[in-house]
């Protein structure tokens, strides 16, 4: 766990596709009742997801990311040509080569930025905040922008022919598309700052959630997402909960001090259980999975934007960003808004 204090989030933005896809539509397409003999509402009952957004054909991660980045820069009172470092941080990407950050740079007009991709599944956004904080602390840059654009609905395997298929394919049915972005700048004395940053990994569990394509081991394969949801949730309790407790203590806070938890949106149930374990009331957790599904690395910045729109993110709020990702990796960042 590293102490922060060098930087703060100066602006945030998000972008969500207009097309709403309900869990009922997903169940009808798969054939939950006809083929699997499952009742309507199974997806919502198991995951808490009522609906999510899916892009129209031809819309890529860079399109969503550029729009979210544009909104974040406007929020921070900056223009694209002022960005010094641009990081694209997401599960998805436009192409294998080049880095999607280059495509975002063109669409955004961030002509003066150093650009690169950072990929660590659903923790990519948190890792990018860590990198930008380090860049700012070392005076490598003064204005950084992280964009997470996720088009992951294309990873869904719709071929669910029997109940046992759901063991590996259910998580895919929860995926939604969207993007979030954040501008990171040096602290300016107004009290806003990133306070602490920490990560942990258990690489031996990488097989629990995979897209078995897009790399040298699986060329020519269709990119589909499979996971062991039950084992992943158990691992999240084991790995994420203690990391969050440590982050709170490292920040000099108690659980009572935490005003808002912005968690990765994978399951309402697991968010509730983690909050209980670390001693923070569930009511202080920002939930967006019910209406946006699991939007991968974009879920945390999207939830940040939603929290502010709802008046839950206020000046001086003590916020805990809580991440869990394939790999398996856990992430925690505390900040004062």
d(CA 308, CA 285): 13
Among residues of the chain, what percentage have pLDDT more than 70? 98
pTM confidence score: 0.95
Q: How many CB atoms lie within 10 A of CB 117?
A: 17
Q: What is the residue extent of each domain of the chain?
A: 2-186, 193-336
As given in the structure block, the two tokens for residue 282 are 């569930």
The Cα–Cα gap between 43 and 61 comes to: 25
Q: How far is CA 212 from the centre of its chain?
A: 20
Question: Catalytic positions, please?
Answer: 122, 264, 294
Mean pLDDT of 89-114: 97
Higher pLDDT, 33 or 194: 194
Give the pLDDT mean for 200-225: 82
Start-end of H helices in 48-158: 61-76, 100-108, 124-137
| Residue in this structure with the two tokens 């019910």, named with its chain if needed | 290
Same fold, 2-186 and 193-336: yes
The reported pLDDT for the residue numbered 223 is 82
pLDDT reported for residue 94: 96
User: In sequence order, what are the beta bridge partners of 22?
Assistant: 51
* pLDDT class of 219 with cuts at 50, 70, 90: low
191, pLDDT greater than 90: yes
CB count in 10 Å sphere of residue 275: 23
Q: Note the pLDDT tens digit of each residue in 316-327.
A: 999 999 999 998
Helix axes 268-278, 229-250, angle to 10 degrees: 40
Fold of 193-336: Peroxisomal Thiolase; Chain A, domain 1 (3.40.47)
pLDDT at 100 over 70: yes
pLDDT band, residue 4 (cuts 50/70/90): low
What per-residue confidence (pLDDT) applies to 2?
62
Residues linked to residue 88 through DSSP beta bridges, in sequence order: 117, 147
* pLDDT-derived band at 287, boundaries 50, 70, 90: very high
The rounded Cα 83 to chain-centroid distance in angstroms is 22
Pairwise pLDDT comparison (164 vs 95), residue with the higher score: 95
Phi, psi of 126, rounded to the nearest 5 degrees: -65, -40
pLDDT at 158 over 70: yes
Please give the CATH number for the structural domain made up of 2-186: 3.40.47.10
């Amino acid at each position: 766990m590293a102490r922060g204090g060098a930087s703060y989030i100066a602006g945030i933005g998000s972008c969500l596709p207009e097309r709403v896809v309900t869990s009922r539509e997903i169940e009808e397409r798969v054939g939950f009742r006809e083929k699997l003999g499952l009742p309507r509402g199974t997806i919502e009952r198991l995951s808490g997801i009522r609906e999510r957004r899916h892009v129209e054909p031809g819309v890529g991660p860079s399109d969503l990311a550029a729009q979210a980045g544009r909104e974040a820069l406007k929020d921070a009172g900056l223009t694209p040509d002022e960005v010094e470092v641009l990081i694209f941080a997401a599960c998805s990407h436009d192409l294998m080569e080049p880095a999607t950050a280059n495509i975002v740079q063109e669409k955004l007009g961030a002509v003066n930025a150093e650009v690169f991709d950072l990929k660590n599944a659903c923790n990519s956004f948190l890792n990018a905040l860590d990198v930008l904080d380090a860049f700012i602390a070392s005076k490598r840059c003064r204005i950084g922008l992280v964009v997470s654009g996720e088009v992951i609905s294309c990873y869904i395997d719709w071929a669910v022919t029997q109940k046992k298929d759901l063991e590996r394919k259910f998580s895919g049915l929860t995926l939604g598309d969207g993007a979030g972005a954040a501008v990171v700048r040096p602290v300016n004395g107004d009290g806003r700052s990133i306070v602490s940053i920490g990560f942990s990994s258990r690489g031996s569990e990488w097989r629990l959630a995979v897209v078995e394509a897009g790399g040298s081991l699986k060329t020519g394969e269709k990119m589909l997402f499979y996971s062991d949801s039950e084992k992943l949730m158990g691992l999240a309790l084991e790995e994420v909960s203690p990391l969050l407790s440590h982050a709170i203590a490292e920040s000099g806070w108690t659980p009572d001090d935490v005003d808002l938890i912005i968690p990765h949106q994978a399951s309402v149930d697991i968010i509730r259980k983690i909050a209980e374990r670390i001693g923070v009331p569930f009511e202080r957790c920002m939930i967006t999975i019910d209406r946006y599904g699991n939007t991968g690395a974009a879920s945390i910045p999207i939830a940040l934007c939603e929290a502010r729109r709802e008046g839950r993110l206020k000046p001086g709020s003590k916020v805990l960003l809580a991440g869990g990702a394939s790999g398996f990796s856990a992430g925690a960042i505390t900040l004062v808004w």
